[in-house]
Structure 1
Protein backbone atom coordinates (compact mmCIF):
# COMPACT_ATOMS: atom_id res chain seq x y z
CA UNK A 1 0.00 0.00 0.00
CA UNK A 2 1.24 3.50 -0.87
CA UNK A 3 2.07 5.92 1.91
CA UNK A 4 0.18 9.20 2.27
CA UNK A 5 3.07 11.12 0.70
CA UNK A 6 3.12 8.79 -2.30
CA UNK A 7 -0.64 9.09 -2.70
CA UNK A 8 -0.52 12.88 -2.45
CA UNK A 9 2.26 13.00 -5.08
CA UNK A 10 0.34 10.76 -7.46
CA UNK A 11 -0.92 12.32 -10.66
CA UNK A 12 -4.65 12.92 -10.19
CA UNK A 13 -6.94 12.33 -13.16
CA UNK A 14 -9.81 14.81 -12.92
CA UNK A 15 -12.88 14.72 -15.11
CA UNK A 16 -14.69 18.03 -15.48
CA UNK A 17 -18.27 17.71 -16.74
CA UNK A 18 -19.15 21.25 -17.77
CA UNK A 19 -21.47 22.33 -20.61
CA UNK A 20 -20.35 25.97 -20.65
CA UNK A 21 -17.29 26.39 -22.93
CA UNK A 22 -16.29 29.62 -21.16
CA UNK A 23 -16.26 27.94 -17.75
CA UNK A 24 -14.41 24.95 -19.20
CA UNK A 25 -11.72 27.31 -20.52
CA UNK A 26 -11.46 29.08 -17.13
CA UNK A 27 -11.16 25.75 -15.31
CA UNK A 28 -8.51 24.49 -17.72
CA UNK A 29 -6.43 27.68 -17.55
CA UNK A 30 -6.76 27.86 -13.76
CA UNK A 31 -5.59 24.28 -13.30
CA UNK A 32 -2.55 25.02 -15.50
CA UNK A 33 -1.83 28.29 -13.65
CA UNK A 34 -2.07 26.55 -10.26
CA UNK A 35 0.54 24.00 -11.42
CA UNK A 36 -1.20 21.11 -9.69
CA UNK A 37 -0.15 17.52 -10.25
CA UNK A 38 -3.13 16.48 -12.28
CA UNK A 39 -4.50 15.69 -15.69
CA UNK A 40 -7.72 17.52 -16.39
CA UNK A 41 -10.10 15.95 -18.87
CA UNK A 42 -13.24 17.76 -19.95
CA UNK A 43 -16.56 16.68 -21.43
CA UNK A 44 -19.63 18.79 -22.03
CA UNK A 45 -22.57 16.38 -21.78
CA UNK A 46 -23.94 13.43 -19.85
CA UNK A 47 -23.36 10.80 -22.53
CA UNK A 48 -19.69 11.74 -22.90
CA UNK A 49 -19.29 11.80 -19.11
CA UNK A 50 -20.68 8.29 -18.71
CA UNK A 51 -18.63 7.01 -21.67
CA UNK A 52 -15.48 8.56 -20.16
CA UNK A 53 -16.03 7.12 -16.69
CA UNK A 54 -16.86 3.65 -18.01
CA UNK A 55 -14.11 3.88 -20.66
CA UNK A 56 -16.43 3.26 -23.62
CA UNK A 57 -16.37 4.47 -27.21
CA UNK A 58 -13.83 7.20 -27.94
CA UNK A 59 -12.76 7.12 -24.25
CA UNK A 60 -11.73 3.47 -24.18
CA UNK A 61 -8.04 4.40 -23.77
CA UNK A 62 -8.48 7.19 -21.24
CA UNK A 63 -7.68 6.66 -17.58
CA UNK A 64 -10.52 6.25 -15.14
CA UNK A 65 -10.88 9.53 -13.23
CA UNK A 66 -9.83 9.81 -9.61
CA UNK A 67 -12.19 12.75 -9.09
CA UNK A 68 -15.23 14.04 -10.98
CA UNK A 69 -16.27 17.69 -10.99
CA UNK A 70 -19.89 17.71 -12.13
CA UNK A 71 -21.97 20.69 -13.19
CA UNK A 72 -25.48 19.29 -12.62
CA UNK A 73 -27.11 21.70 -15.06
CA UNK A 74 -26.33 19.65 -18.12
CA UNK A 75 -28.70 19.90 -21.10
CA UNK A 76 -32.01 18.15 -20.40
CA UNK A 77 -31.41 17.81 -16.64
CA UNK A 78 -28.93 15.04 -17.49
CA UNK A 79 -26.60 15.95 -14.63
CA UNK A 80 -28.90 14.02 -12.33
CA UNK A 81 -28.67 11.02 -14.67
CA UNK A 82 -24.87 11.10 -14.44
CA UNK A 83 -24.96 11.34 -10.66
CA UNK A 84 -27.48 8.51 -10.45
CA UNK A 85 -25.38 6.29 -12.72
CA UNK A 86 -22.27 7.02 -10.68
CA UNK A 87 -24.11 6.13 -7.47
CA UNK A 88 -25.61 2.91 -8.84
CA UNK A 89 -22.73 1.38 -10.80
CA UNK A 90 -20.55 -0.73 -8.46
CA UNK A 91 -17.45 -0.46 -10.67
CA UNK A 92 -17.44 3.35 -10.52
CA UNK A 93 -19.36 4.29 -7.38
CA UNK A 94 -16.11 4.76 -5.46
CA UNK A 95 -15.03 7.74 -7.55
CA UNK A 96 -15.56 10.92 -5.50
CA UNK A 97 -17.99 13.34 -7.12
CA UNK A 98 -17.92 17.06 -6.42
CA UNK A 99 -21.08 18.80 -7.59
CA UNK A 100 -20.39 22.32 -8.78
CA UNK A 101 -23.23 24.59 -7.74
CA UNK A 102 -23.92 28.16 -8.68
CA UNK A 103 -25.60 28.80 -5.33
CA UNK A 104 -26.52 27.07 -2.08
CA UNK A 105 -29.80 26.10 -3.75
CA UNK A 106 -27.88 23.75 -6.07
CA UNK A 107 -27.25 21.22 -3.30
CA UNK A 108 -30.95 21.22 -2.42
CA UNK A 109 -31.89 20.64 -6.07
CA UNK A 110 -29.63 17.59 -6.28
CA UNK A 111 -31.02 16.19 -3.04
CA UNK A 112 -34.65 16.68 -4.16
CA UNK A 113 -33.88 14.13 -6.89
CA UNK A 114 -33.04 11.61 -4.16
CA UNK A 115 -29.34 11.82 -4.98
CA UNK A 116 -26.30 12.96 -3.09
CA UNK A 117 -22.72 13.74 -3.99
CA UNK A 118 -19.55 13.39 -1.98
CA UNK A 119 -19.12 17.16 -1.82
CA UNK A 120 -20.72 20.36 -3.05
CA UNK A 121 -18.63 23.34 -4.03
CA UNK A 122 -19.91 26.69 -5.15
CA UNK A 123 -18.56 27.55 -8.58
CA UNK A 124 -16.83 30.93 -8.84
CA UNK A 125 -18.62 33.75 -10.61
CA UNK A 126 -15.62 35.97 -11.36
CA UNK A 127 -12.76 34.70 -13.54
CA UNK A 128 -10.15 35.83 -11.01
CA UNK A 129 -11.75 33.56 -8.38
CA UNK A 130 -11.05 30.38 -10.37
CA UNK A 131 -7.45 30.02 -9.09
CA UNK A 132 -8.68 30.05 -5.49
CA UNK A 133 -11.38 27.58 -6.48
CA UNK A 134 -8.83 25.22 -8.04
CA UNK A 135 -6.72 25.37 -4.87
CA UNK A 136 -9.84 24.44 -2.86
CA UNK A 137 -10.33 21.44 -5.14
CA UNK A 138 -6.71 20.39 -4.50
CA UNK A 139 -7.23 20.68 -0.72
CA UNK A 140 -10.44 18.70 -1.02
CA UNK A 141 -8.63 15.97 -2.97
CA UNK A 142 -5.82 15.75 -0.39
CA UNK A 143 -8.47 15.53 2.33
CA UNK A 144 -10.20 12.68 0.50
CA UNK A 145 -6.91 10.78 0.15
CA UNK A 146 -6.17 11.23 3.85
CA UNK A 147 -9.70 10.12 4.77
CA UNK A 148 -9.39 6.99 2.62
CA UNK A 149 -6.03 6.08 4.18
CA UNK A 150 -7.44 6.33 7.71
CA UNK A 151 -10.41 4.14 6.74
CA UNK A 152 -8.11 1.32 5.50
Structure 2
Protein backbone atom coordinates (compact mmCIF):
# COMPACT_ATOMS: atom_id res chain seq x y z
CA UNK A 1 0.00 0.00 0.00
CA UNK A 2 1.38 3.36 -1.02
CA UNK A 3 1.10 5.91 1.80
CA UNK A 4 2.81 8.80 0.02
CA UNK A 5 0.55 11.79 -0.57
CA UNK A 6 -0.66 12.42 -4.10
CA UNK A 7 -0.02 15.87 -5.45
CA UNK A 8 -1.87 17.70 -8.14
CA UNK A 9 -1.00 20.93 -9.85
CA UNK A 10 -2.47 24.11 -8.41
CA UNK A 11 -5.22 25.42 -10.68
CA UNK A 12 -5.02 29.19 -11.22
CA UNK A 13 -7.49 31.41 -13.06
CA UNK A 14 -6.03 34.64 -14.44
CA UNK A 15 -8.68 37.23 -15.33
CA UNK A 16 -6.79 39.87 -17.33
CA UNK A 17 -7.71 41.89 -20.42
CA UNK A 18 -4.13 42.96 -21.27
CA UNK A 19 -2.43 40.31 -23.43
CA UNK A 20 1.04 41.61 -22.54
CA UNK A 21 0.35 41.47 -18.78
CA UNK A 22 -1.24 38.04 -19.18
CA UNK A 23 1.72 36.70 -21.16
CA UNK A 24 4.23 37.96 -18.57
CA UNK A 25 2.18 36.44 -15.76
CA UNK A 26 1.83 33.12 -17.57
CA UNK A 27 5.57 33.04 -18.27
CA UNK A 28 6.51 33.72 -14.66
CA UNK A 29 4.09 31.16 -13.27
CA UNK A 30 5.43 28.57 -15.73
CA UNK A 31 8.84 29.07 -14.10
CA UNK A 32 7.43 28.20 -10.68
CA UNK A 33 8.94 25.38 -8.70
CA UNK A 34 5.40 24.33 -7.73
CA UNK A 35 3.35 22.58 -10.43
CA UNK A 36 0.49 24.75 -11.60
CA UNK A 37 -1.97 25.12 -14.43
CA UNK A 38 -2.69 28.74 -15.24
CA UNK A 39 -5.81 29.42 -17.28
CA UNK A 40 -6.42 32.86 -18.78
CA UNK A 41 -9.72 34.58 -19.55
CA UNK A 42 -10.02 38.16 -20.76
CA UNK A 43 -13.21 39.47 -19.14
CA UNK A 44 -15.59 39.12 -16.24
CA UNK A 45 -18.27 37.23 -18.13
CA UNK A 46 -15.75 34.57 -19.19
CA UNK A 47 -14.45 34.42 -15.61
CA UNK A 48 -17.92 33.67 -14.21
CA UNK A 49 -18.59 31.08 -16.95
CA UNK A 50 -15.25 29.46 -16.08
CA UNK A 51 -15.96 29.48 -12.35
CA UNK A 52 -19.42 28.02 -12.88
CA UNK A 53 -18.19 25.49 -15.50
CA UNK A 54 -20.59 26.82 -18.13
CA UNK A 55 -20.44 26.86 -21.92
CA UNK A 56 -16.97 26.30 -23.33
CA UNK A 57 -15.69 25.85 -19.77
CA UNK A 58 -17.98 22.92 -18.92
CA UNK A 59 -15.11 20.53 -18.18
CA UNK A 60 -12.60 22.76 -16.38
CA UNK A 61 -11.34 22.15 -12.86
CA UNK A 62 -12.28 24.67 -10.20
CA UNK A 63 -9.37 27.05 -9.59
CA UNK A 64 -7.49 27.02 -6.31
CA UNK A 65 -6.54 30.68 -6.78
CA UNK A 66 -7.91 33.61 -8.81
CA UNK A 67 -5.73 36.48 -10.05
CA UNK A 68 -8.19 39.25 -10.88
CA UNK A 69 -7.75 42.56 -12.66
CA UNK A 70 -10.29 45.21 -11.65
CA UNK A 71 -10.44 47.16 -14.89
CA UNK A 72 -12.05 44.73 -17.31
CA UNK A 73 -14.36 45.42 -20.25
CA UNK A 74 -18.03 44.65 -19.60
CA UNK A 75 -18.39 43.00 -16.21
CA UNK A 76 -15.45 44.48 -14.30
CA UNK A 77 -13.32 42.85 -11.63
CA UNK A 78 -15.24 44.49 -8.79
CA UNK A 79 -18.43 42.81 -10.00
CA UNK A 80 -16.63 39.47 -10.43
CA UNK A 81 -15.22 39.72 -6.90
CA UNK A 82 -18.65 40.55 -5.47
CA UNK A 83 -20.26 37.56 -7.25
CA UNK A 84 -17.48 35.15 -6.27
CA UNK A 85 -17.56 36.10 -2.61
CA UNK A 86 -21.39 36.03 -2.50
CA UNK A 87 -21.51 32.52 -3.98
CA UNK A 88 -21.41 29.72 -1.36
CA UNK A 89 -19.64 27.40 -3.82
CA UNK A 90 -16.95 29.90 -4.82
CA UNK A 91 -16.35 32.17 -1.83
CA UNK A 92 -13.47 30.13 -0.37
CA UNK A 93 -11.33 30.49 -3.49
CA UNK A 94 -8.64 33.05 -2.64
CA UNK A 95 -8.78 36.12 -4.88
CA UNK A 96 -5.68 38.20 -5.49
CA UNK A 97 -6.51 41.60 -6.95
CA UNK A 98 -3.77 42.38 -9.49
CA UNK A 99 -4.48 45.77 -11.02
CA UNK A 100 -3.02 49.09 -12.10
CA UNK A 101 -5.45 50.98 -9.85
CA UNK A 102 -3.89 52.77 -6.89
CA UNK A 103 -7.22 54.37 -5.97
CA UNK A 104 -7.80 54.02 -2.21
CA UNK A 105 -11.52 53.47 -2.88
CA UNK A 106 -10.66 50.42 -5.04
CA UNK A 107 -8.41 49.06 -2.29
CA UNK A 108 -11.05 49.52 0.43
CA UNK A 109 -13.89 48.21 -1.74
CA UNK A 110 -11.86 45.13 -2.71
CA UNK A 111 -11.13 44.28 0.92
CA UNK A 112 -14.75 45.02 1.89
CA UNK A 113 -15.74 42.48 -0.77
CA UNK A 114 -13.35 39.99 0.90
CA UNK A 115 -10.43 40.05 -1.54
CA UNK A 116 -7.54 38.10 -0.04
CA UNK A 117 -4.94 40.65 -1.08
CA UNK A 118 -4.54 43.72 -3.27
CA UNK A 119 -1.46 44.11 -5.46
CA UNK A 120 -0.82 47.12 -7.68
CA UNK A 121 0.89 46.28 -10.97
CA UNK A 122 4.06 48.29 -11.44
CA UNK A 123 4.47 50.02 -14.80
CA UNK A 124 8.14 48.98 -15.09
CA UNK A 125 8.39 45.52 -16.69
CA UNK A 126 11.17 44.32 -14.36
CA UNK A 127 9.23 45.41 -11.28
CA UNK A 128 6.10 43.76 -12.70
CA UNK A 129 8.00 40.48 -13.15
CA UNK A 130 9.29 40.77 -9.58
CA UNK A 131 5.74 41.27 -8.24
CA UNK A 132 4.54 38.19 -10.15
CA UNK A 133 7.44 36.20 -8.70
CA UNK A 134 6.49 37.32 -5.18
CA UNK A 135 2.85 36.34 -5.73
CA UNK A 136 4.06 33.04 -7.12
CA UNK A 137 6.33 32.34 -4.14
CA UNK A 138 3.76 33.33 -1.55
CA UNK A 139 0.56 31.81 -2.96
CA UNK A 140 2.11 28.66 -4.44
CA UNK A 141 4.87 27.87 -1.95
CA UNK A 142 3.94 29.38 1.42
CA UNK A 143 0.15 29.26 1.58
CA UNK A 144 -2.06 26.22 2.14
CA UNK A 145 -4.89 26.68 -0.36
CA UNK A 146 -8.39 25.29 0.21
CA UNK A 147 -8.86 21.96 -1.53
CA UNK A 148 -5.17 21.00 -1.61
**Counterpart secondary structure, 2:60:** coil
Using the alignment, how far apart are the partners of 2:53 and 2:107 within structure 1? 25
The alignment's C-alpha RMSD in Å is: 2.7
Match of 1:108 among 105, 109, 113: 105
1:80 to partner: Cα distance: 1.4
Using the alignment, how far apart are the partners of 1:130 and 1:111 within structure 2? 22
* Change over 3 Å in CA distance of 1:137–1:112 after alignment to 2: closer
TM-score by length of 1: 0.79
Segment of structure 1 superposing worse, 77-86 or 122-131:
122-131
Contact kept in structure 2, 1:51 and 1:57, CA below 8 Å: yes
Q: Deviations over 1:91-114 (max 9, x none)?
A: 010000000132542x53253475
Contact kept in structure 2, 1:80 and 1:110, CA below 8 Å: no
Q: How many residue pairs were aligned?
A: 142
TM-score by length of 2: 0.81
Using the alignment, how far apart are the partners of 1:115 and 1:71 within structure 2? 14
Match of 1:137 among 132, 135, 138: 135
Contact kept in structure 2, 1:17 and 1:43, CA below 8 Å: yes
**Counterpart secondary structure, 1:145:** coil
Q: Deviations over 1:20-65 (max 9, x none)?
A: 1111111112222345421110000011000111111111111100
Segment of structure 1 superposing worse, 44-53 or 22-31:
22-31
Query: Match of 1:81?
Result: 79
Query: Match of 2:40?
Result: 42
More helix by share: 1
Query: Match of 2:95?
Result: 97
Segment of structure 1 superposing worse, 107-116 or 69-78:
107-116
